[in-house]
A = this chain, B = another copy of it.
């Protein structure tokens, strides 16, 4: 698995949040239920993203989270960096500490090329892009249809 569960949940939750518009705080409990993700885990991840200034959180009634910047200004790489860090895009694929241009492992150049493409993709894809894909191409974000789960909490 290339991204940790925490990171996957983080991306899913922020995409969900971006889809709700920016007027009000979005309930993470509701987001969790609708997306079929453990609520407490999302809560932890949002605390990290709050520290890293990607979201603003608020307690109490009508509390929740809100994107700290416009959806077009938050890239998937921003989220990955905040949660998993950038080691995926920096480390040798064979795990050799000093692997680099001067002392490359046998796979160094090829993997350096591949991982850079991947990084570029994550960097150039914003939450707004993902939301647009969902709206235009009916991409899905939840495991089941949203409507299935909404019934359970309202």
Contacts and interface: CB of A to CB of B under 8 A. Distances in A.
A106 B133 contact: yes
A110 interface: yes
Contacts of A95: 1, 3, 5, 8
Interface residues of A, number: 41
Contacts of A125: 107, 110
B97 A143 contact: yes
A120 B14 CA distance: 32
Contact of A1 (B87, B107, B137): B87
A3 B104 contact: no
A98 B3 CA distance: 18
5 A-B pairs with least C-beta separation: A106-B139, A106-B130, A106-B133, A8-B95, A8-B94
